[in-house]
Amino acid sequence: MKFISIILGGVLISNFVFIQYLGLCAFIGLSEQLETAVGMASAVIFVMTGASAVAAAFEQFILIPLNLQYLRTIAYILVIAAFVQLVEIFLKKTAPGLYKAMGIYLPLITTNCAVLGVALLNVAKSYNILYSTVNGIAGALGWSLAIIIFAGIRERWKLMQIPDVLKGFPLALISTGLMSLAFLGFSGLFQGILK
Amino acid sequence: MGEKLLVTSSPHLKGPRTVRGIMLDVILALVPASIASVVLFGVRALVVIAASVISAVASEAIYEKAVKREVTVSDLSAVVTGLLLALTLPPGVRLYVPIVGSAFAIVIAKQIFGGLGTNFVNPALAARAFLMAAWPLQVSSKWIAPLAYDSVSGPTPLAALKSGRGVVPGIWDLLVGTRLGSLGETCIIALLLGAAYLIARDVIDWRLPAGFVGTVFLGAWIFGKSGAYFKGDGLTAVLTGGVILGAFFMATDYVTSPVTPKGRLYMGIGCGIITIIIRYWGIYPEGVTYAILFMNLVTPLIDRFVVPKYYGYAHDAAARRAKIGGR
Amino acid sequence: MNGKRSLLHDFTKGFIEENATFRMVIGMCPTLAVTTSIVNGFWMGVAVIFVLTFSNVLVSALRKVTPDQIRIPIFVILIATPVVIVELMMKAFLPDMYRILGVFVPLIVVNCIIIARSEAFAYRNPVLNSLLDGLGIGMGYTINLMVIGGIREFLGTGKIVLFSLGSFPAKPLFDPMAVMLSSPGGFITLGLLMAVLNILIKRSEARKSAGQQVCHD
């Protein structure tokens, strides 16, 4: 039950992009084509899930016992960077096809604030390792949903005449605003049941 | 004009029909409901409608002049947007609400992207969602008692269904409109008259509203009664709130709904599912606005993947092969 | 003489020419998340000024001994240091603000603005220039945050709160639009502001080129 509540939270109720403002740079930057969006999304799901798990484990087995919580930010960022590096190496060796498809996006994920963001949010919500991992999946799914929807919409823009002053970021931001209006409807979903 | 290859996105019009012609049909279809709203709620209804339409047309003219484009108000699409937005509002709403709302609908949800045919959300509904978030009290409590013309803030049938408090009117009241509600959602008979006209004139595809209304009916029947399944009142659910107005007049907007018939059916079903979810498990009494907006967002994806059979698998398989790198 | 002008320029370019939010368009996440009021924007801006200046100085001071291959991870460590300092100071002296800004304070460490300045400027320029670059861009960013925050706060609540000076105006002049404080309002406001700025820049560029033409006649 709690799993469903966490997943729905990250995907619909407080979507990582539209409500929590995480991972915006990559969201706007990589959403111009559906293929790119799907590629980045799969990389993000992969990394966010793993990074959340690893960061939570680090928190539980190293930071808390040694009372080093104030070093959390530095520790997490290093843990995440190392994790991404390991994933890259692992993929290169075992699944070269997958590596070629996802490869360019992996280094970009280190600076995607959604990854570090979800790890820190897990701490704020006092999630244990299991829930942290689920929250990582939830955030990643929410981010992926957002970027895939947006890519679908942006591909249609190639056919339109957009005024110069609006081209690029201004229009992307206003559109994101319109999309978040749609997601407002999901706020408070299942409030009674999923407490 | 003959040399250039004109590439545009939907709507694509076939035959001798013009945009203005279609808009005129929609306006005509909405006349019964508009008249009903004035009869039920008084002159105030007319004022709200007028404010909304005037604001929409003015916003479009001003914006298009400002960006030095041709002024297209004569295609009547702004009128339709203004009218539709007004019909979703309570009759007693303060006038700044439809005025700001229409401007938002026209400028931000439509014109910024390049005018008619370029928006990706239904402008009237985007504005309504915006208004709901900006001035929630105005949009959810300025009701007027039908035929008595007194301001009331009491629960609408929809709110009553959700909270369990208040009286839910009988079927006749629901059909004729003698109950609390927004301008355009109460007189179902008037709405259905207009809808029938649009279907007969081939302006809208019956599949979308059928999917939408049918799914809401089913969902309400299955989940409607708390504590038991398959005991809900599907009919009442369909006749309250914005389901009829939304399914026939809003979701069917050409630009923001799928191109293929199957796709439209899926959109209708999707709208219905989300409406049910929000109505029964969300915090808002009405889910139609958000349901349609969300399905607007996924319409490009529906169009991508719901391809008519004869485009076939080969196209997709080739794309998949190219992605993996020719293995 | 040339050196002095370039120093001043390194400081001032962060305000308009290389404005982080509206020209370089980086660091969007916190920009949208914390601009729900002027005060929130201000403190986040202050945190960013501190981190950016500190990290720029560190990166610049160590630029000759930093191997090119691993410079990005080194940057991250050098940036993380002031971030931790800011976190601890905020927790101690401004606990309410720390709570409001939430996860976006530690997220400064992956804020594209900071990494971008390290890579594009501090790594290749002397310490004093880097310090001024950090200060300028940071202050420009703070002004951005305060402007956006002010607009959203005013439209969303009908008034703006200026620290302990009180709130203006005392009575709201219009029915406030709560949506401004939530995400749709934020996105749309920022998008519209960018478009408006683009219009202003285009106009001033047109005027400049028209002026040049007159001169050359």
Q: What is the pLDDT of residues B196-236, one digit of tens each?
A: 999 988 888 899 999 999 999 999 888 877 777 787 778 88
Of B108, B135, B136, the CB nearest to C188: B108
Report helix, strand or coil for B91. coil
Q: Output DSSP code: residue B182.
A: -
Instruction: Measure A142 CA to nearest chain B CA, in Å.
Output: 14
Q: Are C180 and B134 within 8 A, CB to CB?
A: yes
Judged by average pLDDT, the poorest of A61-65, B12-16, B255-259 is B12-16
CA of B307: how far to CAs of A52, B296, B302, in Å? 38, 18, 9
pLDDT confidence of residue B53: 94
CA of B9: how far to CAs of B255, C69, C154, in Å? 8, 47, 39
Average pLDDT over residues A88-109: 74
Q: Are B108 and C179 within 8 A, CB to CB?
A: no
Reply yes or no: is the peptide bond before residue C169 cis, omega within 30 of 0.
yes
Cβ–Cβ contact A65 with B under 8 A: no
B-chain CB neighbours of A188 within 8 Å are 282-283
A-chain CB neighbours of C25 within 8 Å are 169
pLDDT digits (tens, 9 = 90+) for C115-172: 888 888 888 888 888 888 889 889 989 999 999 998 998 888 877 787 767 677 767 7
The CATH number that domain B19-307 falls under is: 1.10.3430
B248 versus A192: which is more confidently predicted?
Answer: B248
d(CA B254, CA B19): 11
Q: Are C77 and A110 within 8 A, CB to CB?
A: no
pLDDT confidence of residue B50: 94
pLDDT-above-70 percentage for chain B: 87
pLDDT confidence of residue A194: 57
Judged by average pLDDT, the poorest of A3-7, B49-53, C170-174 is C170-174
Instruction: Measure C217 CA to nearest chain A CA, in Å.
Output: 30
The terminus-to-terminus CA distance of chain B in angstroms comes to 45
The yes-or-no verdict on residue C66 having pLDDT over 90 is: no
What single letter denotes the amino acid at residue C28? M
Task: Give helix then strand counts, H and E, for chain A.
Answer: 9, 0
Q: Could you tell me if B182 and B88 are in contact, meaning their C-beta atoms sit under 8 angstroms apart?
A: yes
d(CA B297, CA A14): 17
Read off the pLDDT band of B128 (50, 70, 90).
very high
Burial class (CB in 10 A: 0-12, 13-18, 19+), C86: buried
Q: Could you tell me if B52 and B68 are in contact, meaning their C-beta atoms sit under 8 angstroms apart?
A: no
Calculate the average pLDDT of chain B.
Answer: 83
Of B94, B108, B134, the CB nearest to C177: B134
Read off the pLDDT band of B308 (50, 70, 90).
low
Instruction: Measure C183 CA to nearest chain B CA, in Å.
Output: 11
Judged by average pLDDT, the poorest of B170-174, B248-252, C183-187 is B170-174
B-chain CB neighbours of A100 within 8 Å are 325
The yes-or-no verdict on residue C64 having pLDDT over 50 is: yes
What's this model's pTM, rounded to 2 decimal places? 0.87
Instruction: Measure B13 CA to nearest chain A CA, in Å.
Output: 17
pLDDT confidence of residue C214: 56
Domains of chain C by residue range: 2-216
pLDDT confidence of residue C174: 80
Of C73, C186, C195, the CB nearest to A81: C73
Q: Are B133 and C179 within 8 A, CB to CB?
A: yes
d(CA B325, CA C11): 49
pLDDT confidence of residue B210: 92
Instruction: Name the neighbours of A, counting chains with at least 3 Cβ pairs within 8 A.
Output: B, C
Q: Are B290 and A152 within 8 A, CB to CB?
A: no
Q: Are B133 and C185 within 8 A, CB to CB?
A: yes
Of C174, C178, C188, the CB nearest to B136: C178
Read off the pLDDT band of A122 (50, 70, 90).
confident
CA B98 from centroid of its chain's CA atoms: 16
